């Protein structure tokens, strides 16, 4: 079968961005964004650390976030467009209802983060860990995930389309009630994947070894002679 490459545009960034290294500025921007509806646009945030801060209902446009830590912060309903996330930590964050358009994640962590009801369009992730993340009812279209870890994550009731996976780890991930047609898992790990039944697996691309394990999950015994 001929491999189809997903067409994804990288973040559209201006050549010159205003650099922010003062940790007090972004929370002030958050308040201004919510109160006045202003976008956070054309900035580079570098080396900032936050814990349990509220960045919900914000609008990021053409921004770089590099070496920033947002432990257990909330980004609920926040809109990211043309954003580059590099070596950032979003572990334990609440990103319920967040939207991502033309965003790139490089070497980022989002362990245990909640991405419920989030929307993803033209996304790349390289060398990231979203282990134990909650993607319930996420809508993901045109995404490339390379060498990224989704161990124990929840992809329940999701819409997945044009998803390109390479060396991904979906060990013990739950994909119940999520159609997997057209998704190529042959270069990824799906050990002990959780599904409701054969309906979700219809049209998914797997290796013979993966097929044997999935059959076992559905109560089918594969006998080789």
Q: What is the mean pLDDT of the chain?
A: 93
Non-local (6+) Cβ contacts of 125 within 8 A are: 104, 105, 106, 108, 143, 144, 145, 146, 148
| Phi then psi dihedrals of residue 25, to 5 deg | -75, -45
Q: How confident is the model over 182-197, as a mean pLDDT?
A: 93
User: Which tens digit of pLDDT belongs to each residue from 77-110?
Assistant: 999 999 999 999 999 999 999 999 999 999 999 9
Q: How confident is the model over 169-179, as a mean pLDDT?
A: 96
pLDDT of residue 158: 98
SS3 36: helix
Residue 217: pLDDT over 80: no
Domains detected in the chain: 18-169 (2.160.20.80)
Q: How confident is the model over 20-27, as a mean pLDDT?
A: 94
Please report which confidence band the pLDDT of residue 213 belongs to, taking 50, 70 and 90 as the band edges.
Answer: confident
Distance of CA 221 to the CA centre of its chain: 34
- Bridge partners of residue 84, in order along the sequence: 64, 104
Distance of CA 47 to the CA centre of its chain: 22
Residue 195 CA to residue 180 CA, distance in Å, equals 10
Non-local (6+) Cβ contacts of 28 within 8 A are: none
Q: How confident is the model over 133-153, as a mean pLDDT?
A: 98
Residue 156 CA to residue 116 CA, distance in Å, equals 10
User: Which tens digit of pLDDT belongs to each residue from 29-81?
Assistant: 999 998 998 899 999 999 999 999 999 999 999 999 999 999 999 999 999 99
Residue 219: pLDDT over 80: no
- Bridge partners of residue 149, in order along the sequence: 129, 169
* Count of Cβ atoms closer than 10 Å to residue 204 Cβ: 21
SS3 59: strand
Residue 150 CA to residue 41 CA, distance in Å, equals 30
pLDDT of residue 1: 45
Q: Where are the alpha helices (DSSP H) in the chain?
A: 25-36, 198-201, 208-217
């Amino acid at each position: 079968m001929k491999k189809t490459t997903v067409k994804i545009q990288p973040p559209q960034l201006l050549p010159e961005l205003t650099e922010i290294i003062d940790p007090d500025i972004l929370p002030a921007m958050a308040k201004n964004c919510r109160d006045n509806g202003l976008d956070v646009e054309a900035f580079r945030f570098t080396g900032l650390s936050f814990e349990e801060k509220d960045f919900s209902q914000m609008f990021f446009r053409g921004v770089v976030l590099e070496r920033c830590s947002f432990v257990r912060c909330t980004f609920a309903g926040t809109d990211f467009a043309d954003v580059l996330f590099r070596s950032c930590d979003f572990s334990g964050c609440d990103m319920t209802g967040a939207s991502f358009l033309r965003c790139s994640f490089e070497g980022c962590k989002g362990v245990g983060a909640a991405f419920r009801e989030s929307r993803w369009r033209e996304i790349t992730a390289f060398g990231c860990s979203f282990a134990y993340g909650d993607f319930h009812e996420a809508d993901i279209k045109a995404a490339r995930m390379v060498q990224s870890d989704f161990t124990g994550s929840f992809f329940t009731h999701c819409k997945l389309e044009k998803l390109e996976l390479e060396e991904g780890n979906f060990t013990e991930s739950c994909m119940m009630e999520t159609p997997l047609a057209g998704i190529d898992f042959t270069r990824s790990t799906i050990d002990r994947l959780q599904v409701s039944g054969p309906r979700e697996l219809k049209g998914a691309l797997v290796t013979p070894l993966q097929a044997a394990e999935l059959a076992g999950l559905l109560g089918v015994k594969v006998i080789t002679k």
